[in-house]
Structure 1
Amino acid sequence: MTTTHEFWLAGRRASGESDFEVRHSFDGSLVGKVSVPTDAQVEEAVAAAAAAAPVFAATPAHVRAAALDHVSKRLAERTEEIARLITAENGKPIKWARGEVGRAVSVFRWAAEEARRTNGETMRLDTDPGGTGRFAVVRRFPKGVVLGIAPFNFPLNLVAHKVAPAIAVGAPIILKPAPATPISALVLGEILAETDLPAGSWSVLPVPNEKMPALVQDDRLPVISFTGSDKVGYQIMDSVPRKHVTLELGGNAAAVVLADWNSEADLDWAATRIAMFSNYQGGQSCISVQRVIADAAVYDALVERIVAKVQDQVTGDPSDDSVDVGPLVDENAAKRVESWVDDAVAKGAKVLTGGVREGAAYAPTVVADLSDDAILATAEVFGPVLSLHKVNSTDEAFAAVNDSAFGLQAGVFTHDVQAAFRAHRELQVGGVIIGDAPSYRADQMPYGGVKDSGVGREGVKYAMEDFTYERVLVLTGLDL
């Protein structure tokens, strides 16, 4: 009998009047059915969150921290179960799904730690005569209820990056998971329901995308945290100019290999990391390697190694521990990637390996001689496709990185500390990774982009700051 997953309305289980199916992108098997909240139930959840806001904001830090610690512990205990679910929903190879659960475990643990040590600051004001006897205490308070809108590519960890910081600061959250991958978030709801968080402080609502504009516009939800496409993200921001909107959007991340990265070991390392991280989630990561920009001095030797390493990527059933690259989230996504590669080839590009689609799977692909007017040259492919570009200097390499509408992260393979600091100064991105692919993310560090890659930052501490504002208390008549 097929399981129909209930959703979480103000912290309790609930069912709607309809449901939808979630299917495995590898074999089409039914993963489960998910109940859809009615309009009345969505209203109930929002009203409960708004009512809970002052109560939750006043909740002692130890209560919030204990809840976050509990979630971290229970995710760790249920790692294999949840990883298998992520693979079934998303098509992500099981080894990467286990890693995703491990990252979510850490996100909730860090949130618990930050909840305990967020103390604000104090300052004496008698530095000028008018401030004699005055002392200030600065603390942060929630801006209000958070509407968290999560994507399909990390159905647990990117949910964690919205839920954990909100709980840590005492901000109620309405979470809307991606339609393709809602069950992981609903399982997280099971764990949240085991805690002592106030009623109304959280809901997990698998609301259809077409019903989201009303939620986005709701004045009781003053904070929106969205991860997804730049088109949808900026539509949301433009529609609610007076709300606080955090956008974690797309990229077309570049891996730069400079001339000094030229030993056999160097080139093997770069090729290994580039091949892995252009394909590791089927390329469905905002910081997957999409462009390799290599100095002419190392280009030929590097390309040979990259092609070989990409061909070594094991494809197939994502539930198999040996598989590196599974299917994309659905067949339409694979067809889109196929059409973009076909467009590139029609405009003169050469496919050095890959370029073949089978159902929802697209073979790991390397493309050279990409023309500037190809879609692949400027847009985010969000698939296992890598393009190669030869340059003749560091100047040219860094200019190529910046010649993009996106600016999320970049990787720079170099031993030159001056080049590293120059990259940090000049590259128009949110993060620069030296000696590795751009796909590295530590979940506690500030993560986000510039230009069309979004606004605001994730990373637990930084998201907590995004969800709160400073409020100053001035004490007077004191003998300091």
Structure 2
Amino acid sequence: MTVPHFPFLVAGRAATTEARIEVRNPFDGRTVGTVSEAGPEHIEAAIAAAAATAAEFAGTPAHVRSDVLTHISARLDERGEEIARLISGESGKPIKWARVEVTRAASTFRWAAEEARRWSGHMQRLDTDPGSEGRVALIHRVPRGPILGIAPFNFPLNLVAHKVAPALAVGAPIIVKPAPATPLSSLVLGEIMAETSLPSGSWSVLTVSNEKASTMVQDLRLPVVSFTGSVPVGWSIRELVPRKHVTLELGGNAAVVVCEDWCDERKQDFAAERIARFSMYQAGQSCIAVQRVFIHVRHYETMKQRILAHVGALSIGAPDEDDTDVGPLIDERAAVRVGQWIDEAVAGGATVLTGGGRDGAVLEPTVIENAPGGARVLDDEVFGPVVVLCRVSSDEEAFERVNRSRFGLQAGIFTADLHTAFHASRVLDVGGVIVGDVPSYRADQMPYGGVKDSGTGKEGVHSAMEDLTEEKVLVLTGIDVP
């Protein structure tokens, strides 16, 4: 079978070079596509074009931007199965989750299309003081400037969508740098964007190494950097360009609390199924995958057995098979690392209740209990199919232990008590508290982002649009204010 080649896109136009990169399926190592690597001249052309078109694009009528976004959403839907197969092939993501990702990406662009039409600013009367009678302020938001969007491998389409869609909605040029391991779906997104009437230079998708991306990070013509990825890289970007506007989504070790009042058997089984599924989905390679579970001692043994039963029911296998729940990690090196962390926890006194075995890049879904304090499976981001169960004697102890982390993205709280829910929202040092479900829940229109080492800034279409823009004030004088 012929392996497809994907060009990168500079200022909306396809380009190739002799430097080729093979993209391999993490499960079986087969080549699923090749891409050309962009050179320094392509990087310069993309940046220059973005800077040159910034003013023009910012002035594009709202209906034009909205129509473009609507077209992209519709085309993602039309090509959904093709793109899902591509995501599964390049990342090893089970096809069932790849299909969900395409649907979410289409939804993200649809939300952006709607927000683009509502993006209007507001009026403020200034005659509140005697010296400002007859004056009114019109306050609107304008793009901060061209954006560099750096995306990770784990959601190679939807996390690109969360950078591109808000940028296009506000009229800000964007250069996308996909993860080297998973560039294919973002390049197909580029193909779809090329079908639209977007101004030349308003977008590029460049396949470059992480090292070459440093040139773009430091270039002053790109005053905004939106980065999703690892903690060390993210904070190093912020330190490298302190005068730029930098948005960071850096992950975490998401926690679940099963509170004392969560007594109903049906509700307990629901919680157990959600914990099992969303600790292991996408092989745990999600920054809000369930990693730490704090269970009130009253329910610990029952919940443990329920979780183990649901984990045991998950299917491990080839990612392109419809019934596969858990596929490979992004590469064998990642699986080896996670295995080492499990071994370290066991050496410190932890017990592996199920899983722990590895075959290449595939790691069995693993449930651990009695992990010692300081174990990396508790303190760091595993980014693998591993969940750690912990007994707590009270809800308050559970909340304190959730906060005993350098991360703070989202937490899930299983409680039927409204007071407990509001209390958890007040005391938990995280960006979002999900009540009655796991922290892996995310609606693409809602604000999404963390605190502490989980980053700074918010995703979610409207929130990102605000983050990519700044207020500008127009004061009118001699106005008969109604």
Short-chain TM bin: over 0.9
- 2:290 aligned partner, one-letter code: V
Is residue 132 of structure 2 the alignment partner of residue 131 of structure 1? yes
1:102 counterpart SS class:
helix
Alpha-carbon separation, structure 2, partners of 1:318 and 1:66: 35
2:123 counterpart SS class:
strand
Partner of 2:70: 69
Deviations 1:423-452 (CA, angstroms, capped at 9, x unpaired): 111100000000111100000000000000
- Given that 1:294 and 1:389 are in contact with CA atoms closer than 8 Å, whether structure 2 keeps it comes out as yes
- Given that 1:17 and 1:38 are in contact with CA atoms closer than 8 Å, whether structure 2 keeps it comes out as no
Q: 14-23 vs 109-118, which deviates more?
A: 14-23
1:259 counterpart SS class:
coil
Deviations 1:112-169 (CA, angstroms, capped at 9, x unpaired): 0000111000011001101100001001000000000000000000000000000000
- Given that 2:291 and 2:378 are in contact with CA atoms closer than 8 Å, whether structure 1 keeps it comes out as no
Is residue 209 of structure 2 the alignment partner of residue 208 of structure 1? yes
- Given that 1:103 and 1:443 are in contact with CA atoms closer than 8 Å, whether structure 2 keeps it comes out as yes
Alpha-carbon separation, structure 2, partners of 1:373 and 1:436: 27
Alpha-carbon separation, structure 2, partners of 1:244 and 1:37: 25
Partner of 2:121: 120
- Given that 1:338 and 1:355 are in contact with CA atoms closer than 8 Å, whether structure 2 keeps it comes out as yes
Structure 1 position 373, deviation (Å): 2.2
Alpha-carbon separation, structure 2, partners of 1:267 and 1:60: 51
Is residue 421 of structure 2 the alignment partner of residue 400 of structure 1? no
2:325 counterpart SS class:
coil
Partner of 2:107: 106
Alpha-carbon separation, structure 1, partners of 2:336 and 2:92: 16
Alpha-carbon separation, structure 1, partners of 2:417 and 2:289: 24
Partner of 2:313: 312
1:390 counterpart SS class:
strand
- 1:275 aligned partner, one-letter code: A
Deviations 1:244-303 (CA, angstroms, capped at 9, x unpaired): 000001110001000111121111011000000001111000000000000001111000
Structure 1 position 87, deviation (Å): 0.3
Q: Identity of aligned pairs, percent?
A: 63
1:294 counterpart SS class:
strand
Alpha-carbon separation, structure 2, partners of 1:346 and 1:141: 55
**Structure 1 unaligned spans of 5+:** none
Structure 1 position 394, deviation (Å): 1.3
Partner of 2:285: 284
- Given that 2:139 and 2:474 are in contact with CA atoms closer than 8 Å, whether structure 1 keeps it comes out as yes
Alpha-carbon separation, structure 2, partners of 1:52 and 1:9: 13
- 2:172 aligned partner, one-letter code: A
Is residue 87 of structure 2 the alignment partner of residue 86 of structure 1? yes
Is residue 286 of structure 2 the alignment partner of residue 254 of structure 1? no
- Given that 1:107 and 1:444 are in contact with CA atoms closer than 8 Å, whether structure 2 keeps it comes out as yes
Alpha-carbon separation, structure 1, partners of 2:265 and 2:183: 45
Structure 1 position 3, deviation (Å): 2.2
Structure 1 position 397, deviation (Å): 0.6
Partner of 2:145: 144
**Structure 2 unaligned spans of 5+:** none
1:376 counterpart SS class:
helix
Alpha-carbon separation, structure 2, partners of 1:434 and 1:377: 22
Structure 1 position 210, deviation (Å): 1.1
1:297 counterpart SS class:
coil
Is residue 437 of structure 2 the alignment partner of residue 436 of structure 1? yes
**Which residues in structure 2 correspond to 1:37-56 (within 5 Å)?**
37-56=38-57
Deviations 1:325-379 (CA, angstroms, capped at 9, x unpaired): 1111111111111111011111111000000010000000000110012111200
Partner of 1:383: 384
Alpha-carbon separation, structure 2, partners of 1:331 and 1:79: 28
Partner of 2:223: 222
Partner of 2:172: 171
Structure 1 position 19, deviation (Å): 1.2
- Given that 1:270 and 1:436 are in contact with CA atoms closer than 8 Å, whether structure 2 keeps it comes out as yes
Alpha-carbon separation, structure 2, partners of 1:466 and 1:373: 35
Alpha-carbon separation, structure 1, partners of 2:96 and 2:447: 25
Deviations 1:91-122 (CA, angstroms, capped at 9, x unpaired): 11101000000000100000000001110000
Partner of 2:325: 324
Partner of 1:345: 346
The structure 1 segments of at least 4 consecutive aligned residues displaced by more than 6 Å after TM superposition are none
1:66 counterpart SS class:
helix
- 1:194 aligned partner, one-letter code: E
Alpha-carbon separation, structure 2, partners of 1:394 and 1:374: 22
Structure 1 position 212, deviation (Å): 1.4
Alpha-carbon separation, structure 2, partners of 1:207 and 1:471: 35
Is residue 6 of structure 2 the alignment partner of residue 5 of structure 1? yes
2:445 counterpart SS class:
coil
Alpha-carbon separation, structure 1, partners of 2:373 and 2:103: 39
Alpha-carbon separation, structure 2, partners of 1:17 and 1:89: 21
Partner of 1:265: 266
Alpha-carbon separation, structure 1, partners of 2:74 and 2:431: 31
- 1:165 aligned partner, one-letter code: P
- Given that 1:448 and 1:456 are in contact with CA atoms closer than 8 Å, whether structure 2 keeps it comes out as yes
Partner of 2:418: 417
Alpha-carbon separation, structure 2, partners of 1:161 and 1:205: 17
Alpha-carbon separation, structure 2, partners of 1:62 and 1:17: 40
Alpha-carbon separation, structure 2, partners of 1:272 and 1:141: 45
Alpha-carbon separation, structure 1, partners of 2:84 and 2:397: 42
1:225 counterpart SS class:
strand
Structure 1 position 17, deviation (Å): 3.1
- 2:48 aligned partner, one-letter code: A
- Given that 1:17 and 1:37 are in contact with CA atoms closer than 8 Å, whether structure 2 keeps it comes out as no
Alpha-carbon separation, structure 2, partners of 1:378 and 1:85: 34
TM, length-normalised to structure 2: 0.99
Structure 1 position 61, deviation (Å): 0.7
- 2:134 aligned partner, one-letter code: G
Partner of 1:296: 297
Alpha-carbon separation, structure 2, partners of 1:377 and 1:110: 36
Partner of 1:470: 471
- Given that 1:355 and 1:362 are in contact with CA atoms closer than 8 Å, whether structure 2 keeps it comes out as yes
Structure 1 position 214, deviation (Å): 1.2
**Which residues in structure 2 correspond to 1:188-203 (within 5 Å)?**
188-203=189-204
TM, length-normalised to structure 1: 0.99
Alpha-carbon separation, structure 2, partners of 1:375 and 1:287: 17
